[in-house]
A and B are shown apart, each in its own frame.
Chain A
């Protein structure tokens, strides 16, 4: 015990005699450890060569990962064991040197900055001000091309969609939707005609068309003509974070957003019944023309999608 603890006293690694016990390997039986490490290295080498072979014959991806991962793992285990058991066991000690300089050096450093440098600036305040002003102005001016060129200004784009008076509602393939093709209680996604495959049509104008049974439908004030023959259209953009409100719970007639589980009551102005969405889904006023096609009376009467500063 005492002999062992003597060995455990940390010593400096510098100037140790070659036979110092601190330089002896940590393992009690180095021969055995050597053999174990050798086995690890052999397995590792074989697997790395196997990785090359698997790559060469274009074997399944998992064989590539298994051979490469296994190879690196065994080589690594062998190397760690080598370092832990066959190298000087120590422990060794190193003194910490104080990070702080001595007070004289510190004062000299501060003096160099404050007196030598600061003195020069203080005497030439105008020059310093001009240079600072010039560089500062450049910094501000340079921000404009850096930032402003990145994109257009929002202007009114967030307030409007591409639905206009008389726009035909079409499905994803561009086919006009006519009355009677949607069963009661079912939904489909529609777009303004011509924009069904564009980024803007998909991302901004997407609208969910629902055919609802009339019995439990609550007509909103001022929207009496918006839902002809039980056809209702709401913006498909969730008012929480703009995910598509892609799920429809048929029994309760709830539109559900799968991102954060906001639920909107389709029969009652799409008011949010559950979840973090703060506003109803905007409703698109519809009419059915003489040929039976579903068309928009106008654009949405409020901005679609999530909230933002300029939205009143």
Chain B
């Protein structure tokens, strides 16, 4: 008995002060060498600002998309074979449809939690793309894309493109009447590409529309190829973020050479894990209470049928709007046709838009001649021209978004479609020119305001015994003391830190 106690105690002593976990870590370090890097990873500092959560929303909704998507692949059948439906949804009983559509109806009604998973999948995909856009706007307006982070901006724009593409592919998979019409439009857009359009369309679809290959091909792109690219690029995005460290807003104790905030472990880890649970929870609540894409109401796709008010998911709406309002300018010459009415709004315009996004860091650098590395963020108001440019682009995209529902607007407000069409044409063209000066002057005004961006101090109003009212400023609480929100002058040039003494790379000193 006493022997056993001695043994236990001696074993405990041999483990050192950090117990069983500590000795396990030692064993791991002996083999892999994790202590040094692991320690500095746990100590990594994350700046606290609400706008840094936007990227986290994107990341965590992507996690929800992946998990719910894996569930769906267990029941979805990627096949265009014609089957006759005899499932639990009686209004469609006896209808002939593709196996893809039938399996989507089945997994919605016959698989336990299937409908919830499908709705969560769709919601989280929409939130994923939305969060990317808002995150991108944050990065743009605060100048976080500047040197040394241009590469990460490029990766981010690519991620947005892939997310939109995969959203469209996934939206098409149920093969219902609405999504089938979307595929038909996508086919026609590919067909409109000059010179190679017909070949491209035939290769993508395996022949003339509808072909036999579109559902299986879209499926493998949607569940394997594009997600693999997204996962890889998200990994690269996060790796660069850790390597280059976060940007931060200027404030007390903050400089170009440090990062101020909370450590990875345990503070940031707790907050971000909690936030992931909140994102997943909100998605599940949306899946439970907010119906999305009720494909059983649309019916299976038949090429000769169509329904009223055909609209894509929100992230494709700007393209649909552009297609609606562009004039019917078909170009014919030398026996060839370029369908400008399709090519310009659906191929050239998105190409220019994303090209502009890719090129923006280079464009801004050329204009400002600013070659320095920046780790402190701009406040949007301190860069009025950039802010105004961003506002102008967003204004135009918003108008195109609205233009994707011209027919619904005309019906709702009882105005003629012609009026709505011409209003939207004018608004799309004019809105950037209205938005730019507004953005510019509002930014200038905010920047010039004393104490602008700072939280207002609270005044406590008290009534004295004699009935007199006295207002006294309340003591500042918590974060208010830190002047995080106060605009501090952004240094225009960064003095380089002391360089390390040069070492001779030809010789290596090795211990031992």
Least CB distance, A258 to chain B, in whole angstroms: 5
Could you tell me the distance between the alpha carbons of A258 and B285 in the complex, rounded to whole angstroms?
33
Of residues 284 to 342 in B, which have CB atoms within 8 Å of A's CB atoms?
284-289, 302-310, 320, 323-330, 332, 335-339, 341-342
Chain B residue with minimal CB distance to A91?
B260
**Is B91 an interface position by the 8 A CB rule?**
no
Are A307 and B330 touching (Cβ within 8 A)?
yes
Of residues 243 to 275 in A, which have CB atoms within 8 Å of B's CB atoms?
243-244, 246-247, 258-262, 272, 274-275
Query: Contacts A92-B260, A104-B503, A147-B203 known; A276 to B324 CB distance under 8 Å?
Result: yes
- What 1/0 mask marks residues of chain B from 242 to 263 whose CB sits below 8 Å from any chain A CB? 0111000000111011111111
**Is B181 an interface position by the 8 A CB rule?**
yes
**Is A55 an interface position by the 8 A CB rule?**
yes
Return chain A residues, CB-CB under 8 Å to B335. Answer: 312
Could you tell me the distance between the alpha carbons of A151 and B206 in the complex, rounded to whole angstroms?
4
**Is A181 an interface position by the 8 A CB rule?**
no
Least CB distance, A84 to chain B, in whole angstroms: 6
Which of B44, B203, B244 has most chain A Cβ within 10 Å? B203
Are B323 and A260 touching (Cβ within 8 A)?
yes
Of residues 254 to 281 in B, which have CB atoms within 8 Å of A's CB atoms?
254, 256-263, 266-271, 273-281
Contact of A72 among B202, B211, B284, B320 (CB under 8 A): B284
**Is A240 an interface position by the 8 A CB rule?**
yes
Query: Contacts A62-B289, A92-B260, A311-B337 known; A306 to B191 CB distance under 8 Å?
Result: yes
Return chain B residues, CB-CB under 8 Å to A148. Answer: 203
Are B310 and A243 touching (Cβ within 8 A)?
yes
Chain A residue with minimal CB distance to B420?
A261
Chain B residue with minimal CB distance to A112?
B505
**Is B116 an interface position by the 8 A CB rule?**
yes
Least CB distance, B269 to chain A, in whole angstroms: 8
**Is B198 an interface position by the 8 A CB rule?**
yes
**Is A10 an interface position by the 8 A CB rule?**
yes
**Is A179 an interface position by the 8 A CB rule?**
no
Are A241 and B282 touching (Cβ within 8 A)?
no
- What 1/0 mask marks residues of chain B from 363 to 402 whose CB sits below 8 Å from any chain A CB? 0000000000101000000000000000000000000000
Could you tell me the distance between the alpha carbons of A64 and B287 in the complex, rounded to whole angstroms?
10
Are A278 and B202 touching (Cβ within 8 A)?
no
Contact of A203 among B48, B209, B276 (CB under 8 A): B209
- What 1/0 mask marks residues of chain A from 44 to 76 whose CB sits below 8 Å from any chain B CB? 000000000001001001111110111111111
Return chain A residues, CB-CB under 8 Å to B373. Answer: 99
Query: Contacts A80-B271, A307-B337, A310-B336 known; A105 to B112 CB distance under 8 Å?
Result: no
Least CB distance, B240 to chain A, in whole angstroms: 10
Return chain A residues, CB-CB under 8 Å to B323. Answer: 240-241, 260, 276
Are A241 and B189 touching (Cβ within 8 A)?
yes
Could you tell me the distance between the alpha carbons of A63 and B339 in the complex, rounded to whole angstroms?
50
Return chain A residues, CB-CB under 8 Å to B418. Answer: 274
**Is A277 an interface position by the 8 A CB rule?**
yes
Are B260 and A310 touching (Cβ within 8 A)?
no
Could you tell me the distance between the alpha carbons of A310 and B355 in the complex, rounded to whole angstroms?
28
Could you tell me the distance between the alpha carbons of A72 and B266 in the complex, rounded to whole angstroms?
20
Least CB distance, B394 to chain A, in whole angstroms: 24
- What 1/0 mask marks residues of chain A from 275 to 292 whose CB sits below 8 Å from any chain B CB? 111110000000000000
Return chain B residues, CB-CB under 8 Å to A83. Answer: 262, 266-271, 274
Return chain B residues, CB-CB under 8 Å to A72. Answer: 277-278, 280-281, 284
Q: Which of B432-440, B453-461, B474-482 lies on the face that meets chain A?
A: B474-482
Are B288 and A66 touching (Cβ within 8 A)?
yes
**Is B192 an interface position by the 8 A CB rule?**
yes
Of residues 287 to 312 in A, which have CB atoms within 8 Å of B's CB atoms?
305-312
Chain B residue with minimal CB distance to A207?
B304
Are B211 and A151 touching (Cβ within 8 A)?
yes
Are A241 and B188 touching (Cβ within 8 A)?
yes
Are B116 and A64 touching (Cβ within 8 A)?
yes
Q: Which of A117-125, A126-134, A153-161, A222-230 lies on the face that meets chain B?
A: A153-161
Are A80 and B275 touching (Cβ within 8 A)?
yes
Are B202 and A308 touching (Cβ within 8 A)?
no
Residue tally, chain A, CB below 8 Å to B: 96
Query: Contacts A80-B271, A203-B210, A204-B208 known; A99 to B244 CB distance under 8 Å?
Result: yes
Return chain B residues, CB-CB under 8 Å to A244. Answer: 303-306
Contact of A158 among B208, B267, B303, B417 (CB under 8 A): B208
Are B310 and A259 touching (Cβ within 8 A)?
yes
Return chain B residues, CB-CB under 8 Å to A158. Answer: 198, 208
Return chain A residues, CB-CB under 8 Å to B206. Answer: 150-152
Which of B119, B207, B254 has most chain A Cβ within 10 Å? B207
Could you tell me the distance between the alpha carbons of A103 and B307 in the complex, rounded to whole angstroms?
66
**Is B102 an interface position by the 8 A CB rule?**
no
Are B275 and A76 touching (Cβ within 8 A)?
yes
Are B187 and A98 touching (Cβ within 8 A)?
no
Q: Which of B14-22, B28-36, B494-502 lies on the face that meets chain A?
A: B494-502
**Is A88 an interface position by the 8 A CB rule?**
yes
Chain A residue with minimal CB distance to B285?
A69
**Is B226 an interface position by the 8 A CB rule?**
no
**Is B185 an interface position by the 8 A CB rule?**
yes
Chain B residue with minimal CB distance to A94?
B45
Are A102 and B306 touching (Cβ within 8 A)?
no
Contact of A65 among B44, B193, B266, B287 (CB under 8 A): B287
Least CB distance, A115 to chain B, in whole angstroms: 13
Chain B residue with minimal CB distance to A278?
B330
Return chain A residues, CB-CB under 8 Å to B308. Answer: 247, 258
The 8 closest A-B pairs by CB, nearest first: A65-B288, A76-B277, A69-B284, A83-B270, A79-B274, A73-B281, A307-B339, A72-B281
Other contacts beyond A77-B274, A242-B187: 12, CB < 8 A: A10-B260, A55-B112, A61-B115, A90-B267, A91-B253, A95-B257, A240-B328, A272-B328, A274-B421, A276-B327, A278-B328, A278-B329
Chain A interfacial positions (CB closer than 8 Å to B): 1, 4-5, 8-10, 13-14, 26, 55, 58, 61-66, 68-84, 87-88, 90-96, 98-99, 102-105, 108, 147-148, 150-154, 157-158, 172, 189, 191, 199-200, 202-204, 206, 236, 240-244, 246-247, 258-262, 272, 274-279, 305-312
A sample of 29 inter-chain contacts (CB < 8 A) reads A61-B288, A64-B288, A65-B119, A66-B285, A68-B288, A71-B281, A73-B285, A80-B274, A82-B274, A83-B262, A87-B267, A90-B267, A93-B258, A102-B502, A150-B204, A151-B205, A151-B207, A151-B211, A153-B199, A154-B198, A203-B209, A203-B210, A240-B328, A242-B188, A244-B304, A260-B320, A278-B330, A307-B192, A309-B196
